Amino acid sequence: MGDFFRGRLGSFRAAFEGWWHVWRTQPNAWIHAVFSLAVIAVGIWVQLDEISWALIVLAMTLVWIAEFANTAVEAMVDLAGTDHHPLAKVAKDVSAAAVLIAALAAVAIGILVLGLPLWERVVGLISSN
């Protein structure tokens, strides 16, 4: 049983090392973090309901998963060789496109979920002045 728990601890350690690698090496991760924090702040400000929070968290998670997978694909392609092979470019470009698609979907979800409550909140602030 001890080996089982040591193995799981090792798995968590490896996952956190991967997480830390993305934070240290990927400038786009910082952009995702800034937008994630901004969306969370707006969601708190407009007092989203549980279903809306679930959609927002799902959208943000999709972007983060795509960014992490993109980083992994880039590392594997770089490991495979330093030659500029056309298929290496395809792998990196498609992986980056997955992040772009996830980010665009997250923006759309953010607009659909946050748009009206944010608009009402801002109009309420302007009207009260």
pLDDT in tens, the chain (129 residues): 778 878 888 899 999 999 999 999 999 999 999 999 999 999 999 999 999 999 999 999 999 999 999 999 999 999 998 888 899 999 999 999 999 999 999 999 999 999 999 999 999 889 986
Catalytically active residues are: 67
List the structure tokens of 3.
């080996």
- Indicate the fold that domain 27-128 takes in CATH: Helix Hairpins (1.10.287)
User: Where would I find the H helices in 26-85?
Assistant: 27-45, 50-80
Q: Is the separation of the CB atoms in 59 and 105 below 8 Å?
A: yes
Instruction: Give the separation between CA 95 and CA 99, rounded to whole angstroms.
Output: 7
Domain map (residue ranges) of the chain = 27-128
- CA-only gyration radius of the chain, Å: 19
